[in-house]
Amino acid sequence: MEALALERKAEQNRELRERLLQLKKERNAIILAHYYQRDEIQEVADFRGDSFLLAQKAAQTDADVIVFCGVHFMGESAKILAPNKTVIIPDERAGCPMADMVNVDGLRKLKAQHPNATVVTYINSSAEIKAETDICCTSANAVRVVNSVESDEIIWVPDKNLGHYVQQNTDKKMIIWEGYCNTHDMLTVKDVEEMKAKYPNAEFVVHPECRPEVVALGDFVGSTTAIIKYCKESDKKEFIVGTEDGTGYQLRLDSPDKTFHFASKYLVCPNMKVNNLKKLVKALETMQPQIYVPNDVADKARLSLERMLLVK
């Protein structure tokens, strides 16, 4: 029975992939997939990457339609940087709990309390929050961005774990918002120590969205893209991975001769995983759900993204 079900699924996926190719041509569409997406989506994407790299791709492409397989704020970033393109996502329920942990009123209050502070916002945030921001950053360039601003005082939103990591690498005073990524924050020291005992020869690579005490155990700390690059170039053959399990697709693709153990079976973002191949095809057929960002919000948010692009 199981073999039959798998065969049926494979056949269905083949049909969906054929339909997708046809629709992409008809619509002049490009498919962008975040590294945390299901394998079946990463397989058909024109570009795979982290949220910022994909937003940049969105701005550079000559496609008319961008299908963003990620979460809502990523689609917004693409729309902000490519306002004349149609941006659709496979499932509008793909939100980000961390992005929802910061609100405009709260941020405005904090700005009023610290009028000399520069607001640095992690790209994992809504368009409205980016519009209240001086400069955005990613996990890859967070330290560089914070150190590039003139002010000695930084309001940092929304991820306290990444904020703590940046704080270790700057002399600036940081006022840190209390948000976090549900998925990365679940990883505990106990999880990592158990894995290290089980795989003593493996290196532990970890994302700075994890808790500070977990990050402190890392042999390498970096963004998703940095982790993938590090594992590819390393002469080590075995890794314990402290980030979302979708990353395994690219890790295994780049390094088929290496072994990757995810540090916990709970490193799965439910929001990233609501997208699937069927929904992706349907989104292109119906051209829904579309991402809209009001012009006034988009214009302000674009400034904070463009300032980040200037940081070398």
Q: Alpha-carbon distance 237 to 190, whole Å?
A: 23
Residue 164 is labelled as binding a ligand:
no
Residue 11 is labelled as binding a ligand:
no
Q: Alpha-carbon distance 122 to 165, whole Å?
A: 13
Residue 207 is labelled as binding a ligand:
yes
Residue 124 is labelled as binding a ligand:
yes
Residue 139 is labelled as binding a ligand:
yes
Residue 269 is labelled as binding a ligand:
yes
Residue 126 is labelled as binding a ligand:
no
**Residue 51 CB: number of other CB atoms within 10 A?**
27
Q: Alpha-carbon distance 70 to 246, whole Å?
A: 11
Residue 34 is labelled as binding a ligand:
yes
Q: Alpha-carbon distance 14 to 280, whole Å?
A: 14
Residue 210 is labelled as binding a ligand:
no
Residue 304 is labelled as binding a ligand:
no
**Ranges of H-type helices in the chain:** 2-27, 39-42, 51-60, 72-81, 97-100, 104-113, 127-131, 142-148, 160-167, 182-185, 189-198, 212-215, 224-233, 248-254, 277-286, 295-310
Q: Alpha-carbon distance 27 to 252, whole Å?
A: 32
Residue 136 is labelled as binding a ligand:
no
Residue 123 is labelled as binding a ligand:
yes
Those residues with Cβ within 8 angstroms of residue 284's Cβ, 6 or more apart along the chain or in another chain: 20, 23, 24, 27, 29, 65, 67, 88
Residue 121 is labelled as binding a ligand:
no
The annotated binding site for [4Fe-4S] cluster is made up of 96, 181, 269
The annotated binding site for iminosuccinate is made up of 34, 51, 122-124, 139, 207-209, 224
The annotated binding site is made up of 34, 51, 96, 122-124, 139, 181, 207-209, 224, 269
